[in-house]
Amino acid sequence: MTSLLILFLGAILVLYFGIRKPEKKSMGITVLLLIASILFLVKEGFDYIHKNIPAWQTKLVPVNMLIWDPIAVAFSIIIVFSFLLVIGLFSRNNNIGADLLGLMLFSVCGGMLMTSFSNLIMLFLGIECLSIPLYVLAGSKKSDLASNESAVKYFLMGAFSTAIFLMGCAFIYGGTGSLELESISRSLAMFGHMGVKSNLIFAGIMLLMAGMLFKVSAFPFHFWSPDVYEGSPNRTTVFMATVVKIAAFAAFFRLFNYAFLYVNSWWSMTMAISAAATILFGNIAAIRQTSFKRTLAYSSVAHAGYMLMAILAAPVDGFWALLVYLLAYACSAVVIFYLLDRTAEGKSDFAFENFNGLGKTNKWSSLLLVVSIFSMAGIPLTAGFAGKYGLFSGIVSNYPWLLTIALVGSAISIAYYFRVFKNAFFSSGDNGIKLEIGIAEVIFLALALAVTLLVGCWPAVITSLQIIPA
Amino acid sequence: MELILTPIIAAFIAAWAGKWSRWIALFGSMITGFILLYFFQNFNPAGGVQWQWDKAWFSSAIHFHTGIDGISMILLLLTNILAPVILLSAFNKKDDIPLLFALIVGMQGALNGVFVARDGLMFYIFWELALIPIYFIAGLWGEGNRFKTTLRFFIYTFIGSLAMLASLIYLFSKTPGNASFSYEALVAVKLETVEALWVGLGLLLAFAVKIPLMPLHGWQPSTYTEAPAAGTMLLSGIMLKMGLYGLLRWFMPLVPEALSTLVPFIVALGVIGIVYAALIAIRQNDMKRIVAYSSLSHVGLIAAGIAVAGETGIQGGLLQMFSHGVNAVGLFLAIDIIERRNQTRMLDTLGGMAGQSRAFAVIFLVIVLGATAVPFTNGFPGELLLLKSVFGYHPFWGIAAGITVILCAVYMLRMYQFSMFGEPKGTSFPALQWHEWAALSVIVLMILFFGLFPQKMLDISAPAVKDLLLLIQNTGEVVS
What crossing angle do the helices spanning B2-15 and B21-41 adopt, rounded to 10°? Answer: 170
Question: What confidence category does residue A50 fall into, taking pLDDT thresholds of 50, 70 and 90?
Answer: confident
What residue of A is the nearest CA neighbor of B56?
A460
- Give chain B's domain count: 1
Between chains, do B169 and A411 touch, taking CB under 8 Å as contact?
A: no
Contacts of B309 (CB under 8 A, 6+ apart): B252, B259, B263, B469, B472
Q: Which of B416, B438, B407 is nearest to B366 (CA)?
A: B416
**B104 belongs to a structural domain:** yes
**B478 belongs to a structural domain:** no
Strands (E), A123-269: none
A414 — contact with chain B (CB < 8 Å)? Answer: yes
Between chains, do A396 and B140 touch, taking CB under 8 Å as contact?
A: no
**B52 belongs to a structural domain:** yes
Residue B268 to residues A128, B400, B402, Cα–Cα distance (Å)? 63, 10, 14
Q: What does the pLDDT read at residue A88?
A: 86
Between chains, do A380 and B128 touch, taking CB under 8 Å as contact?
A: yes
Q: Which of B148, B3, B9, B151 is nearest to B73 (CA)?
A: B3
Residue stretches of chain B with pLDDT short of 70: 93-96, 178, 426-427, 474-480
**B241 belongs to a structural domain:** yes
B151 — contact with chain A (CB < 8 Å)? Answer: yes
**Which among A379, A396, A463 is the nearest to B173, CB-wise?**
A396
From the CB of residue A69, how many other CB atoms can be counted at a distance below 10 Å?
18
Substitution target from A407, A416, A420, A462 for chain B, most B beta carbons within 10 A: A407
Between chains, do A396 and B121 touch, taking CB under 8 Å as contact?
A: no
**Which among B125, B139, B173 is the nearest to A380, CB-wise?**
B125
Contacts of A421 in chain B (CB under 8 A): 139
What is the C-alpha separation between B199 and B189, in angstroms, rounded? 12
A460 — contact with chain B (CB < 8 Å)? Answer: yes
Between chains, do A396 and B170 touch, taking CB under 8 Å as contact?
A: yes
Supply angle C-alpha B325, B328, B331, rounded to 5: 150
Secondary structure element (H or E) that encloses residue A273, with its range: helix A264-287
Strands (E), A85-224: none
**Contact, A344 vs A354, CB < 8 A?**
yes
A464 — contact with chain B (CB < 8 Å)? Answer: yes
**Which among A386, A400, A410 is the nearest to B58, CB-wise?**
A386
b/e A172-200 (16+ beta carbons within 10 angstroms → b): bbebbebbbbeebbebbeebbeeeeebee
Q: What does the pLDDT read at residue B328?
A: 92
Distance (Å) from the alpha carbon of B441 to chain A's nearest alpha carbon: 34
What residue of B is the nearest CA neighbor of A377?
B158
Which of A116-130, A431-445, B108-122, B146-160 has the least mean pLDDT? A431-445
Q: What does the pLDDT read at residue B140?
A: 83
Distance (Å) from the alpha carbon of A143 to chain B's nearest alpha carbon: 39
**Contact, A260 vs A205, CB < 8 A?**
yes
Looking at residues A218-228, what average pLDDT do you find? 88
* CA of residue B230 relative to chain centroid, distance: 14
Contacts of A23 (CB under 8 A, 6+ apart): A94, A96, A97, A98, A101
Burial status of residue A398 (CB atoms within 10 A of its CB: 0-12, 13-18, 19 or more)? middle
Between chains, do B158 and A458 touch, taking CB under 8 Å as contact?
A: no
Between chains, do A393 and B172 touch, taking CB under 8 Å as contact?
A: yes
Between chains, do B58 and A460 touch, taking CB under 8 Å as contact?
A: yes
Between chains, do B158 and A414 touch, taking CB under 8 Å as contact?
A: yes
Distance (Å) from the alpha carbon of B415 to chain A's nearest alpha carbon: 32
| Whole-prediction pTM | 0.91
Secondary structure element (H or E) that encloses residue B367, with its range: helix B358-372
Distance between first and last Cα of chain B: 17
Question: What confidence category does residue A304 fall into, taking pLDDT thresholds of 50, 70 and 90?
Answer: very high
**Which among B155, B163, B170 is the nearest to A400, CB-wise?**
B170
**B116 belongs to a structural domain:** yes
Between chains, do B57 and A458 touch, taking CB under 8 Å as contact?
A: yes
Which residues 348-377 of chain A have a CB within 8 Å of chain B?
374
B154 — contact with chain A (CB < 8 Å)? Answer: yes
**Mean pLDDT taken over chain A:** 86
Substitution target from B62, B150, B161, B162 for chain A, most A beta carbons within 10 A: B162
- Give the domain extent around B308: 2-472
**B479 belongs to a structural domain:** no
**3-class SS of residue A252:** helix
Q: What does the pLDDT read at residue B480?
A: 43
**Mean pLDDT taken over chain B:** 86
Looking at residues A159-188, what average pLDDT do you find? 90
- Dihedral sign, CA of A394, A396, A401, A403? positive
What residue of B is the nearest CA neighbor of A417?
B151
What residue of A is the nearest CA neighbor of B16?
A363
Q: What does the pLDDT read at residue A169?
A: 93
Strands (E), A336-442: none
B165 — contact with chain A (CB < 8 Å)? Answer: yes
**Which among B59, B121, B132 is the nearest to A463, CB-wise?**
B59
Distance (Å) from the alpha carbon of B228 to chain A's nearest alpha carbon: 14
**Which among A410, A426, A464 is the nearest to B162, CB-wise?**
A410
A191-205, A356-370, B235-249: range with highest mean pLDDT: B235-249
Distance between first and last Cα of chain A: 25
A461 — contact with chain B (CB < 8 Å)? Answer: no
Contacts of A463 in chain B (CB under 8 A): 58-59
Distance (Å) from the alpha carbon of B191 to chain A's nearest alpha carbon: 14
Supply angle C-alpha A271, A257, A213, rounded to 5: 40
Distance (Å) from the alpha carbon of B474 to chain A's nearest alpha carbon: 25
What is the C-alpha separation between A41 and A66, in angstroms, rounded? 14
Q: Show contacts of A171-178: CB within 8 Å, 24+ apart.
A: A171/A200, A171/A201, A171/A203, A171/A204, A171/A207, A172/A120, A172/A201, A172/A204, A172/A205, A172/A208, A173/A120, A174/A200, A174/A204, A175/A200, A175/A201, A175/A204, A176/A201
Rounded CA Rg of chain A = 21
Q: What does the pLDDT read at residue A467?
A: 64
Q: What does the pLDDT read at residue B427?
A: 67
Contacts of A418 in chain B (CB under 8 A): 151, 154
What is the C-alpha separation between B218 and B220, in angstroms, rounded? 6
Residue pairs spanning A and B at CB distance below 8 A = 71
Distance (Å) from the alpha carbon of B158 to chain A's nearest alpha carbon: 6
Q: What does the pLDDT read at residue A57?
A: 67
What is the C-alpha separation between B361 and B353, in angstroms, rounded? 7
Between chains, do B129 and A381 touch, taking CB under 8 Å as contact?
A: yes
Substitution target from A319, A396, A398, A417 for chain B, most B beta carbons within 10 A: A396
Q: What does the pLDDT read at residue A269?
A: 92
A415 — contact with chain B (CB < 8 Å)? Answer: yes
